[in-house]
Amino acid sequence: MAADLRTFLAQLDERGLVERVEREVDPATEVGRLMRELDGARRAGLFTRVRGSEMALVYNLVPTRETVALALGAEPAAVRDAFAEALRGRLEPVRVDDASVQEVVRLGDDADLRSLPLVTHSEKDAGPYITAGVVLARDPASGKRNVSFNRMMLAGPREAGIRTMPPQQLGVIHERAEQGGEDLPVAIAVGVHPADSLAAATSLPPGEDELALAGGLRGEPVRLVRGVSVDLDVPADAEVVLEGRVRAGVREPEGPFGDFLQFYVPELRNHRFELTAITHRRDPIFQTMSAGSREDVNLLGVSREVVIADAVRSSGAELVDLRLGPTILGASIAIRQRYPGEAKNVGLAAIGAYSWLKVCVVVDEDVDVHDPDDVWWAVTARTSPDRAIRVVEGAPAFPRDPHGVHASRVVVDATYPVGEDAAFERKRPPGGDRLDLAEWVTPP
């Protein structure tokens, strides 16, 4: 059996990481609030009765590093290495004839986006959105495939606004088609294995196939089948595929939308998707994601961490660990420092390698970069701000910045002075390694 959303959901369920919601839920007023609770619980949520749709809905498949590791068949500490290995060992997708995603085919007027369990994520969003859609398109110039995430706002039974513009590759591809007066055929796969989502969230150079990376991450090729209404291959084991085209020369209002920085992006004139077919499994499980959630940061973060790790190692530093978060504009890096000022050099190397990195905190090897409380402890306990903070002025970190809040970057050296280990040794309980509390607590 090929790895897909269902096989992964079963793995989560075996570990007690799935919460089932069997009461009917309103996707406009209730699901978004329940998604926030699932974020806090760090559990996946499976909604079996969503008002207005016959499809189930799943959310929060990879809210932790441990669940990302589970998706990759790796240990949590080896996630970055597993991703780097997959980059070197990509597996090209294969074409098949048996496609579970085409068990049900709806064409023409039978294909209606309103049949999907689309969620209104934030109270001021312009409407319900598709947020977990993996968009597949082919460059009309090179014939190469591109795979990416793009938000889509419901605009009618067969229309949706789609957010894409250059320099994002899909925007470049659509611009080329548009210059030739052509619509751009696209397919949107919803409900795929997290390895496929991780690949789609990776910014590969133009012409490199994200599905080959997905194959490397899975350890098996992604299975593809020909679309029923577009000249594209689509993931055979997805839950749902939406086929159609992004229209040439058409821009319509889209937004507001609560974006990944937890603010609303305003209404913009964005591209328009026109639906030609919906195919899906019997009893499909639709997927949604929340912009800026832990799941979103986990999917976007791993590939960018690999870039930062390479830069840190190239500086000559001994990297212990690193983590992006709580947004992909911030990073915590642990090193085994060797000389005064090395932490600042590491931070500068990181922000030079990753153009969106705005805040970089460098800590000692005894700090857990996956625990924001531990990182913030180091900042407050081990730094003198006048010496620890290096602001890089006039170096924008994020291009969409009409208010000037991303116009500079900062490196925070939260390491203790080199050679003063004894003075800054952290207190520990006596007796050695940690104990498992569950072995000591009296059951009720």
Per-residue pLDDT of the chain (444 residues), as tens digits, is 679 999 999 999 999 999 999 999 999 999 999 999 999 999 999 999 999 999 999 999 999 999 999 999 999 999 999 999 999 999 999 999 989 999 999 998 999 999 999 999 999 999 999 999 999 999 999 999 999 999 999 999 999 999 998 889 999 999 999 999 999 999 999 999 999 999 999 999 999 999 999 999 999 999 999 999 999 999 999 999 999 999 999 999 999 999 999 999 999 999 999 999 999 999 999 999 999 999 999 999 999 999 999 999 999 999 999 999 999 999 999 999 999 999 999 999 999 999 999 999 999 999 999 999 999 999 999 999 999 999 999 999 988 888 889 999 999 999 999 999 999 999 989 988 789 998 999 988
Tokens of 380: 């407050």
Q: Determine the pLDDT at residue 433.
A: 79
Map tokens 């409380």 to a residue.
373
Q: How far is CA 100 from the centre of its chain?
A: 25
Say if residues 267 and 127 touch (Cβ distance below 8 Å).
no
Q: Determine the pLDDT at residue 131.
A: 98
Q: Could you give the CA distance from residue 245 to residue 344 in angstroms, rounded to a whole number? A: 48
Say if residues 296 and 35 touch (Cβ distance below 8 Å).
no
Say if residues 160 and 153 touch (Cβ distance below 8 Å).
yes
pTM equals 0.94
In degrees and rounded to multiples of 5, residue 432 shows phi and psi of 100, -135
Q: Could you give the CA distance from residue 399 to residue 430 in angstroms, rounded to a whole number? A: 50
**Torsion from C-alpha of 240, 167, 145, 103, nearest 10 degrees:** 10
DSSP H helical ranges for 101-226? 169-179, 194-200, 210-218
The set of catalytic residues is 259
Tokens of 368: 């857990």
* Crossing angle of the two packed helices 79-88 and 65-72, in degrees rounded to 10: 40
Q: Determine the pLDDT at residue 167.
A: 86
Tokens of 418: 């080199």
Tokens of 328: 């992909």
Q: Determine the pLDDT at residue 1.
A: 62
Tokens of 260: 């990944």
- Sheet containing strand 285-288, edge to edge, reads 18-21, 44-47, 56-59, 285-288
Strands 184-190 and 240-246: antiparallel
